[in-house]
């Protein structure tokens, strides 16, 4: 037979599943839930008093592209304060009642918070302070993995928003997708320091192996949560960070295996931009990237139009 406390627990679990994060409870009910002995026990036969549940505020619309880019700042620990009744018990606090994360978005938001507070990465002293997590949809079929945020990314706390990011956006659009229909992340979540950060200005550098390793757990978890159909490693640094060794020239053009998920290694957009400045404008490399992306499209079942197939065909002649 259900006791009042069982009913209350069920009610709380239902509220948590609906997204309610706080409910008002009497001190006695709280003590029962925590298994404490200070408050009088709730009598098993007493009718359960339905806890007053505040009507959940309508969800604030969030642009997906910003959702992971700006995780909430960690709440500083508060000293205990005595509050008037009824107290509020947080359904997201670590307790036997804390609901398991309900969605990929929630998993990723928690992960972003862990990355923000990563002692492993921060204690290296070679990475800058601002953490840039990821952008896009948690339901993506394609995940793009880059190196590390640069100056622009650090400013906006979103990966791939500088010149290389604008080129990546064009590539994604050429595939018939929008940025918020894929997931974009980096192998290192912090911008690497140059000259102890004193003369950094807008200079960027690729992360070292140690810097990548300090963030590896986050990237692995992101891929585990999202379970994309295809991963695209942008450049050899990202490939190395995912355990795939070799030059892009040797690796590109075919799928490799990343823990059961096909992964395509292709040229980093920054490399394409550098080649633009040289003879030929880097058309040959752009064409190779486009060939790689058409393979990615085929792999996830995206249609490829004649027009898309013909991109760069003039450059072949
Ligand atoms: N290059 C990367 O590899 N990642 C970014 O976020 C921006 C540029």
Tens of pLDDT along the chain (317 residues) come to: 345 555 455 455 445 544 455 555 555 556 565 554 333 333 333 333 333 433 444 444 433 433 344 444 444 555 555 544 444 444 445 555 666 657 999 999 999 999 999 999 999 999 999 999 999 999 999 999 999 999 999 999 999 999 999 999 999 999 999 999 999 999 999 999 998 778 888 899 999 999 999 999 999 999 999 999 999 999 999 999 999 999 999 999 999 999 999 999 999 999 999 999 987 789 999 999 999 999 999 999 999 999 999 998 765 44
CA of 307 to the centre of ligand 1 (A): 29
**Cβ neighbours for 222, distance < 8 A, ≥ 6 positions apart:** 108, 111, 134, 143, 183, 185
Quick count: other Cβ atoms within 10 Å of Cβ 193? Answer: 18
Q: Does residue 113 belong to any structural domain of this protein?
A: yes
Please report whether residue 116 resides in a domain: yes
Q: Residue 76 falls within a domain, yes or no?
A: no
List residues near ligand 1 (CB under 6 A): 146-150, 153, 159-160, 162, 164-165, 186, 270
Where does the chain show beta strands of DSSP type E?
A: 22-25, 87-90, 127-131, 134-136, 142-146, 183-186, 190-192, 230-234, 255-258, 261-266
Distance in angstroms (rounded) separating the CA atoms of residues 262 and 249: 18
Residue 240 lies in a domain: yes
For residue 98, being part of any structural domain is answered with no
Question: In the chain, how many domains are there?
Answer: 1
In a domain, 72, yes or no: no
Structure tokens at 113: 């918070």
- Nearest ligand 1 atom, CA 269: 1
243 domain residue, yes or no:
yes
CATH number of 287's domain: 3.40.470.10
Ligand 1 centre distance from Cα of residue 147 (Å)? 5
pTM score over 0.85: no
Nearest CA to ligand 1 atom 7: 160
- By residue range, what is the domain housing residue 125? 104-309
In a mutational test of the pocket of ligand 1, which residue from 146, 188, 202 has the highest number of ligand atoms less than 8 Å from its CB? 146
Domain presence at residue 80: no
């Amino acid at each position: 037979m259900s006791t009042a406390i069982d009913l209350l627990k069920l009610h709380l679990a239902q509220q948590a599943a609906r997204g309610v994060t706080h409910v008002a409870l009497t001190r006695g009910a709280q003590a029962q839930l925590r298994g404490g002995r200070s408050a009088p026990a709730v009598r098993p036969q007493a009718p359960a008093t339905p806890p007053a549940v505040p009507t959940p505020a309508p969800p604030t619309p969030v642009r997906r592209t910003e959702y992971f880019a700006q995780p909430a700042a960690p709440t500083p620990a508060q000293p205990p304060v005595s509050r008037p009744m009824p107290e509020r018990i947080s359904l997201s606090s670590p307790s036997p009642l804390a609901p398991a994360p309900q969605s990929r978005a929630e998993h990723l938001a928690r992960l972003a918070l862990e990355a923000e507070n990563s002692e492993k990465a921060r204690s290296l002293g070679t990475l800058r302070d601002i953490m840039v997590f990821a952008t896009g949809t948690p339901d993506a079929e394609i995940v793009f993995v880059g190196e590390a945020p640069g100056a622009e990314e650090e400013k906006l706390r979103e990966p791939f928003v500088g010149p290389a990011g604008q080129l990546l956006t064009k590539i994604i659009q050429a595939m018939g997708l929008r940025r918020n229909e894929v997931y974009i992340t980096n192998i290192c979540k912090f911008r690497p320091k140059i000259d102890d950060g004193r003369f950094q200005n807008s200079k960027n550098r690729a992360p070292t192996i140690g810097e990548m390793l300090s963030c590896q757990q986050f990237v692995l978890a992101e891929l585990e949560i999202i379970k994309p159909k295809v991963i695209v490693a942008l450049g050899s640094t990202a490939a190395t960070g995912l355990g795939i060794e070799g030059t892009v020239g040797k690796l590109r053009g075919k799928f490799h295996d990343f823990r059961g998920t096909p992964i395509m290694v292709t040229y980093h957009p920054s490399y394409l931009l550098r080649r633009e400045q040289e003879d030929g404008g880097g058309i040959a490399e752009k064409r190779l990237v486009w060939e790689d992306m058409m393979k990615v499209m085929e792999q996830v079942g995206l249609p490829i139009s004649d027009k898309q197939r013909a991109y760069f065909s003039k450059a072949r002649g």
